[in-house]
Structure 1
Amino acid sequence: MDNEKILLVDDEERMRDMIKEYTSLEGYDIHEAADGVKALELFKQNKYSLIILDVMMPKIDGWSVCREIRKTSDVPIIMLTARGEEYDKLFGFELGVDDYMIKPFSPKELLARMKAIIRRSSSIDLEAKKENTVSFQGLVIEFDSRNTYVNGNIITLTPKEYSLLTFFANNPNRVFSREQLLNEVWDYDFIGDDRTVDTHIKMLRESIGEYRKFIVTVWGTGYKFEVGEKNEKHSS
């Protein structure tokens, strides 16, 4: 963990100091930026394990910074915002945000979510990497390239959509509650927001088009990826 670099972006110095106080004790290497321009400069110069990004900032806001980062990187991003409306969360998830913290928040909870996201990011696809490609009819996932295809056409998934699809692909025909999906895909070891799961399920269904039929809602329980046997092509 000593080598884990975190980019902390917030125009409030007091907020940065509070977060830095907690995270530095865990051995993280914290890089700070007070505006979006500086954040993008640091991002281009360094490789980060996680970015903590405030929404409302001078020069360039957090949404624009996130959009620019997502052009070249799937580094995990936690957004800090005073706005908790459902529309804002959906907008952020569509940009590829991994998680939200609504101000004011507990720094201990932020640290717990940071650890979970970094842990999940570092271990993602370990099972999948035993295989090169899996397919379910016309839905194809290439694990080495992280590309996903629908009927031969490559589609764009957010990092969390891809993680959710990969988890389902590795666990077909099993029912998972929303809490289990939070634990397995988001790696939360505390009670999360069920609506986060529902939002990402909706987004993933829209992304995979006709193969949305594979993601079945089990009323009163959760979801399952209902398919026949997957076709596997192992790496040589």
Structure 2
Amino acid sequence: MIQAKVAIVEDDANIQNIVQAYLQKDGYETVVMDNAEDAWDYWNSGKSADMWILDIMLPGMDGYELCKKIRDTSDVPIIIISAKDEEIDKILGLELGGDDYLTKPFSPRELVARVKRLFKRVTVQREPQVEKEELQIGELIVKLDDRRIVWAGAEVEVTAKEFDMLSIFVRNQNRAFSREELLKKVWGEDYFGSDRAVDDLIKRLRKKLDGLPIETVWGYGYRMRSASEDES
């Protein structure tokens, strides 16, 4: 039975064929592209994929840029595969929005296992909310029932992870969270990327919500000031 569609963006035909064969054997539908421009056209055409597997070293637009473009508008799961195995490359891929990073050469079975695990985590995160309430701190309103954010009287579009992060802070005003805590709460216990992903998400929130009272706790993590603290 077809479980989901996975888009594979990889210019090496051998890797394309192997990854596609293993995913199809496990029941996934696949679509394959060998460059980022075609992948971006596919994305903009409105055709859907439930997960993207992106190579970094592509002709023309590279996988980093494609990852950023997709992540700017969607929380669709992204796994990056690359021959680049330096820590800085992995950090960059995760900061640009990748959910996982796998270094070549890799076991196709390991890739399939990571695809399964990422789908499982995303399914849990997207389960319908049963709470019927709003949380507010200052000009920020978090509407839990329909997962909307209002800032300074205007609705602001945020991604699922951005919403989850804001919910954590509004529920726990003035509490400092370490980067590791936030990583587990927002990305899941089995996420094994860099905690720099937390910094990147906070940076995006501060850009979207100018004046957001999330402050850095140096050497540790972040906290959100309460409205009463701001007034005092």
TM-score normalised by L of structure 2: 0.70
Is the 1:120–1:185 contact (alpha carbons within 8 Å) kept by the matching residues of 2? no
Query: What is the deviation of 1:139?
Result: 1.1
Aligned residues: 225
- Please give the alpha-carbon distance, in whole angstroms, between the structure 2 residues aligned to 1:171 and 1:15: 46
Alignment match, 1:9: 9
Does structure 2 conserve the Cα–Cα contact (< 8 Å) formed by 1:36 and 1:60? yes
Partner of residue 200, structure 2:
199
Per the TM alignment, residue 26 of structure 1 is displaced from its structure 2 partner at its CA by 3.4
1:123 CA drift (Å): 3.2
1:207–1:111 distance in 2 versus 1, CA, 3 Å? farther
Residue of structure 1 in register with 2:116 after alignment: 115
> In 1, Cα distance between the equivalents of 2:223 and 2:125?
20
Query: How far apart in 2 are the matches of 1:177 and 1:111?
Result: 31
8 Å contact kept, 1:53–1:79: yes
What does the per-residue CA deviation read over 1:32-56, in whole Å, with 9 as the maximum and x for residues that have no partner? 1112243245443632211112233
Deviations 1:138-158 (A, max 9, x none): 012345665433212444545
1:70, CA displacement in angstroms?
5.2
Which structure 2 residues correspond to residues 26-65 of structure 1 after superposition, within 5 A? 26-43=26-43, 44=45, 46-65=47-66
Distance 1:71 1:17 in 2: 29
Distance in 2 between residues matched to 1:16 and 1:175, nearest whole Å: 44
Query: Deviation of residue 9 (structure 1)?
Result: 0.7
Report SS of the residue matched to 1:210: coil
- The AA in structure 1 aligned to 2:77 is P
* One-letter amino acid of the counterpart of residue 3, structure 1: Q
CA distance in 2, matches of 1:228, 1:115: 42
1:104 matched to which residue of 2? 104
Aligned-residue identity in percent: 30
Q: Which one-letter code corresponds to 1:78 in the other structure?
A: I
Change in Cα spacing, 1:218 to 1:116, as seen in structure 2 (3 Å) is farther
CA RMSD in angstroms, aligned pairs only: 3.9
Match of 1:150 in 2: 151
Q: Deviations over 1:164-183 (max 9, x none)?
A: 22444456666654344333
Shift of 1:31: 1.6
Summarize the Cα distance change of 1:26–1:67 in structure 2 as closer, same or farther, 3 Å threshold: same
SS at match of 2:121: helix
* Unpaired runs of at least 5, structure 2: none
Distance 1:104 1:90, change over 3 A: closer
Distance (Å, rounded) in 2 between the aligned partners of 1:87 and 1:210: 31
My pick for the range that moved more, 157-166 or 50-59, is 157-166
Helix, strand or coil for the counterpart of 2:213?
helix
2:24 aligns with 24
Taking a change above 3 Å as real, the CA distance of residues 80 and 156 of structure 1, as seen in their structure-2 partners, is: farther
TM-score by structure 1 length? 0.69
Unaligned runs of 5+ in 1: 230-236
For 2:209, the aligned partner's letter is: I
Please state whether the residue corresponding to 2:162 is helix, strand or coil.
helix
Aligned to 1:234: none
Within-5 A mapping of 1:131-146: 131=132, 133-142=134-143, 146=147
| Counterpart check, 1:210 vs 2:211 | yes
